[in-house]
Amino acid sequence: MTDKTIAAPLAAALAAKGYASLTSVQQAVLEGDAEGRDMLVSAQTGSGKTVAFGLAIAPQLLDGDILPDTDVPLGLAIAPTRELALQVAAELTWLYAQAGARIATCVGGMDYRSERRALERGAHIVVGTPGRLRDHIERGSLDLSGLRVAVLDEADEMLDLGFREDLEFILQSAPQERRTLMFSATVPPAIEQLAGTFQRDAKRIVAQGESRQHVDIEYRALTVAARDREPAIFNLLRLHEAQTAIIFCKTRANVNHLLARMGNRGFKAVALSGELSQQERTHALQALRDGRAKVCVATDVAARGIDLPGLELVIHADLPTNPDTLLHRSGRTGRAGAKGVSALIVMPSDLRKAQMLLKRARVDAEWGPAPSADEVRAQDDMRMLDHPALKEGAEDDTAMAQMLLDRFGPDRLAQAFIRMWREGRPAPEELTVLTDRAPAAARERPPFCEAVWFSLSVGHTGRAEARWLLPKICDGGGITREAIGAIRVREDQTFVQIAVAEAGKFGKVMELEPDLTMRRLDGEPDLERAPRPADTRPARRKPEGDWNKPQQRIDPEGAVTAKSRKARWTPEDRAAKGAKPSRPAFDKPGGSRPGAPKPAGARDRGAKFAAPRKGGKPRKDDY
Q: What is the pLDDT of residues 288-332, one digit of tens each?
A: 888 889 999 998 876 666 767 778 899 999 998 888 788 878 877
pLDDT of residue 621: 44
- Domain stops at, among 206, 240, 271: 206
Report the percentage of the chain scoring pLDDT > 70.
Answer: 78
CB distance 180 to 199 below 8 Å: yes
Mean pLDDT of 509-526: 88
Point out the least confidently predicted range of 142-156, 270-284, 325-339, 479-493.
Answer: 325-339
- Residue 478, domain CATH: 3.30.70
Note whether 41 and 177 are same-domain residues. yes
Which helix (H) or strand (E) covers residue 535, if one does? none
26, part of any domain: yes
* pLDDT of 579: 57
* 248 and 190 co-located in one domain: no
pLDDT band at 130 (very low <50, low <70, confident <90, very high): very high
Q: Are residues 131 and 225 in the same domain?
A: no
Amino acid at 422: R
Residue 147, pLDDT > 90, answer yes
Is the per-residue pLDDT at 564 higher than 50? no
- Tell me: the pLDDT tens digits for 347-401? 999 999 999 999 888 888 999 999 999 999 888 888 888 877 777 766 677 788 8
Find how far residue 508's CA is from the centre of its chain: 52
Distances (CA, A) of 503 to 48, 57, 155, 451, 497: 58, 64, 52, 8, 9
Identify the domain containing residue 92 by its residue range.
8-206
* Whole-angstrom distance, CA of residue 272 vs CA of residue 293: 13
Both 315 and 185 in one domain: the answer is no
Q: Do 31 and 88 belong together in one domain?
A: yes
Q: Are 76 and 130 members of one domain?
A: yes
**Contact present, 59 and 102 (Cβ < 8 Å):** no
Same domain, 174 and 238: no
Instruction: Single out the residue in 347, 378, 409 at which a domain terminates.
Output: 378
What's the rounded Cα separation, in Å, for the pair 462 and 456? Answer: 11
Judge whether 46 and 102 are in contact, CB under 8 Å: no
| 73-113 tens-digit pLDDT | 999 999 988 888 888 999 999 999 988 899 999 998 788 89
- 516: in domain: yes
Query: Helix 164-172 and helix 189-198: axis angle, to 10°?
Result: 10
pLDDT for res 139: 93
* Number of neighbours of residue 544 by Cβ within 10 angstroms: 7
Q: Is the dihedral of CA 282, 288, 289, 290 positive or negative?
A: positive
Give residue 350's identity as a one-letter amino acid code: D
Distance CA 77, CA 151 (A): 5
Q: Are residues 46 and 83 in the same domain?
A: yes
DSSP H helical ranges for 484-560? 500-503
- CA–CA distance, 367 with 436 (Å, rounded to integer): 8
Q: Which of 132-146, 449-463, 598-612 has the highest mean pLDDT?
A: 132-146
What is the pLDDT, as a whole number, of residue 46? 65
Task: Kindly write down the DSSP assignment for every residue of 4-15, as one continuous string.
Answer: TTS-HHHHHHHH
In a domain, 413, yes or no: no
Nearest-CA neighbor of 202 among 175, 177, 182?
182
Any domain includes 158: yes
Percent of the chain with pLDDT over 90: 29
Cα 509 from Cα 4, distance rounded (Å): 71
Average model confidence (pLDDT) across the chain: 80
Do 321 and 302 fall into the same domain?
A: yes
Strand extents, DSSP E, 491-557: 494-499, 509-513, 516-520, 551-554
**CA of 279: how far to CAs of 269, 296, 299, 419, 510, in Å?**
17, 16, 18, 39, 73
Q: How many beta carbons lie within 10 A of that of residue 188, not counting itself?
A: 13
Instruction: Provide the CATH number for the domain around residue 318.
Output: 3.40.50.300
| Contact criterion met (CB below 8 Å) for 234 and 267 | yes
Q: Does a structural domain hold residue 543?
A: no
Pick from 51-65, 220-234, 323-337, 445-459: least confident: 323-337
pLDDT of residue 424: 72
Instruction: Give the chain's domain count.
Output: 3
In this structure, the answer to whether residues 179 and 303 fall within a common structural domain is no
Q: Please report the sign of the dihedral spanned by the C-alpha atoms of residue 165, residue 169, residue 170, residue 172.
A: positive
Spatial contact of 306 and 88, defined as CB atoms under 8 Å apart: no
Classify the phi-psi angles of 244: left when phi > 0, otherwise alpha if psi is within -120 to 50, otherwise beta.
Answer: beta
Q: Tell me how far apart the alpha carbons of residues 128 and 80 are, in angstroms, rounded to a whole number.
A: 8
Give the list of residues 6+ apart from residue 107 with CB closer than 8 angstroms, or none.
Answer: 82, 85, 86, 128, 129, 132
As a whole number, mean pLDDT of residues 470-499 equals: 89
**Is residue 338 in a domain?**
yes
Query: How many angstroms separate the CA atoms of 517 and 529, rounded?
Result: 22
pLDDT (0 to 100) of residue 565: 45
Q: Give pLDDT, residue 580.
A: 56
Q: Which amino acid is at 81?
A: T
Is residue 535 domain-resident? no
Q: Are residues 136 and 23 in the same domain?
A: yes
Same domain, 245 and 350: yes
**Chosen domain end from 496, 520, 544:** 520
The whole-number average pLDDT for the span 577-604 is: 52
Q: Would 417 be classed as within a structural domain?
A: no
